[in-house]
Amino acid sequence: DAKTTQPPSMDCAEGRAANLPCNHSTISGNEYVYWYRQIHSQGPQYIIHGLKNNETNEMASLIITEDRKSSTLILPHATLRDTAVYYCIVRVTGNQFYFGTGTSLTVIP
């Protein structure tokens, strides 16, 4: 049970904002949303996480809806190096991650 659903693929023009949606309608009140990305032949890399408030760091912003059933990862100025598979993950008790199939983001020059 992946607990999250994401579109399989998206394109974004270089320099524009990339908005990646995720549905997690069955999330429980104490379960965090994490975002990771995986560049070809590498291990997943942490991007950001949140519980119910919006979060921002040097890589991205995370917008979580008030009912917590969905979230959006925003890469403010996409570059070619942001081309990767992005995973939206629900973290359950015991720090266990449930990965879905992710969104393959292609940044176009």
Count, residues near other proteins per rule CB under 8 A: 22
Residue from the set 29, 42, 58, 109 that interacts with other proteins by CB under 8 A: 42
Residues 62/75, Cβ–Cβ less than 8 Å = no
Kindly tell me which of 44 and 75 has the beta carbon lying closer to other proteins.
Answer: 44
86 binds other proteins (CB under 8 A): no
Location of structure tokens 């809806």:
65
50 binding other proteins? (CB under 8 A) = no
8 Å CB contact between 37 and 85: yes
Asked if residues 37 and 49 have their Cβ atoms less than 8 Å apart, the reply is: no
Q: Closest distance between other proteins and the C-beta of residue 29, in Å?
A: 14
Residue 63: both structure tokens together: 């917008």
Of 40, 37, 41, whose CA–CA distance to 22 is shortest?
A: 37
Closest CA to 27 of 62, 8, 6, 51: 51
For other proteins, the closer of residues 74 and 92 by Cβ is 92
Part of the chain binding other proteins (CB under 8 A), chosen from 9-17, 52-60, 69-77, 99-107 = 99-107
Give residues in contact with other proteins (CB under 8 A).
Answer: 2, 32, 34, 36, 41-46, 49, 87, 91, 94-102
